[in-house]
Amino acid sequence: MSQVHEAIAEATRKLAEAGIDSARVDAELLAEHAFGVPRGRLAVAPDPEPQRLDLLWHLVAERATRVPVQYLTGLAPFRYLELVVGPGVFVPRPETELLVDWGLERLAGIEAPVVVDLASGTGAIALSVATECPAATVYAVERSPRALDWLRRNAGNSGVRVVEADVTAPATLAELDGRVDLVLCNPPYVPDASPVAPEVSGHEPTEAVFGGPDGLDVIRPVIARAAGLLRGGGAVGIEHDDSHGEAVPTLLRADGRFAAIADHRDLAGRPRFATATRLADCNGPSGPDRRDCSK
């Protein structure tokens, strides 16, 4: 048995003893990082140098205290991207890829769309849209100084326009009002009293996870800001807690400026994000669904 195989087996054992459900996967990810060998080639990798083994055991010890594995490797995969992450920024989840899928479908046929990603964090949504729809002009809005550092590193020379602003402020990106084709948002939405994994409660930024007593403190003003940004016929998609399958669509209806309101489930069948189409203003910018304002 090779040293690499033995090390991964021992790392798996230690992580399982620490109560980590994904012990084998995490052990392989940490070994990939420590040994500098792609995960798919670990089985045929040569014996690691002693300092690389020492690094693996350090990472395993940290992971056993429930530090997110992405913080330890410094990377988080998302769709076709590999994002840099670390303390101070929310780690993007696979569920959010479904929101991006929906958004990209809405952009089909629009020649040069304008897209806004509110509460951007790492930039996962904004950068995915910019990568998969190169004709789009994409704005990524974030207020946390620590998250902004990661966002700017990920954005690099991608063309995504990073904006330091509060997504709950009525004036955020007001210069784009009535001109945006798509607004996407993965806000903090977990109700304050909800139990969360130790990786979240002990390490990820609280302001990026929790959304007030009912989890809707950020979503409410985001709906209003989206209504202001969107042109008639433009669309909004907002990720939410699995307890919000009725609450967020109800808020969209109550706003009065949206139609085609729907809620969507994730691959596990849980309510995950709500979508809507902006109605046209009778005295403002129009879109393909403009209402007959004479009525």
* Residue burial 58-68, b: 16+ Cβ < 10 Å; e: rest: ebbeebbebbb
Run of H or E residues at 255 = helix 247-255
Does the annotation flag 186 for ligand binding?
Answer: yes
Catalytic-labelled residue, pool 187, 221, 249, 271: 187
Per the listing, tokens 């209504």 go with 227
Sorted by sequence, the CB contacts under 8 Å of residue 52 that are 6+ apart come out as 34, 35, 36
The answer to whether the beta carbons of residues 182 and 115 sit under 8 Å apart is yes
Q: Is residue 48 flagged as an active site residue?
A: no
**DSSP string over 56-81:** HHHHHHHHHTT--HHHHHSEEEETTE
Please give the C-alpha separations between residue 258 and each of 38, 55, 125, 199, in angstroms, as whole numbers. 47, 53, 22, 37
68 in a known ligand binding site: no
Given 35, 78, 90, 273, the catalytic residue = 90
- Among residues 154, 186, 221, 258, the one annotated as catalytic is 186
CA within 13 Å, CB half, 205: 21
Q: Is 142 annotated as a binding residue?
A: yes
Q: Is 283 a catalytic residue?
A: no
Given a contact cutoff of 8 angstroms between Cβ atoms, the answer to whether 10 and 35 are in contact is no
Residue 154 known to be catalytic: no
Active-site positions read: 90, 186-187
Binding residues for substrate: 186-189
- Residues annotated as binding site? 142, 186-189
Which residues are known binding-site members for S-adenosyl-L-methionine? 142, 186
